[in-house]
Chain A
Amino acid sequence: GAVVSQHPSWVICKSGTSVKIECRSLDFQATTMFWYRQFPKQSLMLMATSNEGSKATYEQGVEKDKFLINHASLTLSTLTVTSAHPEDSSFYICSARALGQGGTEAFFGQGTRLTVV
């Protein structure tokens, strides 16, 4: 199947700093990528939908100024957690679908464990 690469797999940062997480589709083009957050022993919470060349669509309750999403090309989306605080510590996962295939499966990155100290 298609491969989605997420980087870094884990990061520790100081409170108040910003962290960027990259999500790349390695062997297909993705007009849309999705960013999820997962708390321990809980399900995935969709944070936002990242659209290539346009603004991201954020789910209700997600602060767009805190979680900046950029989808600069058909193979790369980035999530930047700005002014991170300990409550932002979580597991972040991205996913992508192949171009024009809304009903088929999504491919997931391996996730990024963010710890804010």
Chain B
Amino acid sequence: GNSVTQMEGPVTLSEEAFLTINCTYTATGYPSLFWYVQYPGEGLQLLLKATKADDKGSNKGFEATYRKETTSFHLEKGSVQVSDSAVYFCALSTDNNNDMRFGAGTRLTVKP
């Protein structure tokens, strides 16, 4: 079945540090891949997405590239800010499977 494996946290960085959160997936068919962010006490917000191989999703300085050869969708940001502190979820869905599968979530804390 479809699944997502995400880098375990928590991750603590200093402001302006480089961020990478690893995500790999297993899926039948051709999945779409997503990164969601959850701020404390809130629901999930879509951060970025990629719908086919070699696509790069980007938003708010975050990027992730859909790598079919390595079945990965790692999240990166060149310079994190305190306001980026949140939990990040990698997720996938396929056209023939209506639900969405999530990774375990990675808690990021950015210190000034």
A→B interface (CB under 8 Å): 1, 6, 32, 34, 41-44, 46, 49, 93, 95, 97, 102-111, 113
User: Which stretch of B18-26, B44-52, B60-68, B71-79 is in the interface?
Assistant: B44-52
- Which residues of chain A come closer than 8 Å to B32, judged between CB atoms? 103-105
Contact at A6–B93, with CB atoms within 8 Å? no
Query: Nearest 5 A-B pairs (CB), nearest first?
Result: A108-B43, A103-B95, A108-B44, A110-B43, A43-B104
Count of chain B residues near A, Cβ 8 A: 27
- Which residues of chain A come closer than 8 Å to B34, judged between CB atoms? 105
Contact residues of A: prevailing secondary structure:
loop
Between-chain CB contacts (< 8 Å), 11 pairs: A41-B107, A43-B89, A43-B102, A44-B102, A49-B99, A102-B94, A104-B32, A105-B93, A109-B43, A110-B43, A111-B43
List which B73-112 residues lie within 8 A (CB) of chain A. 89, 93-105, 107
- Which residues of chain A come closer than 8 Å to B41, judged between CB atoms? 111, 113
- Which residues of chain A come closer than 8 Å to B46, judged between CB atoms? 1, 105, 107
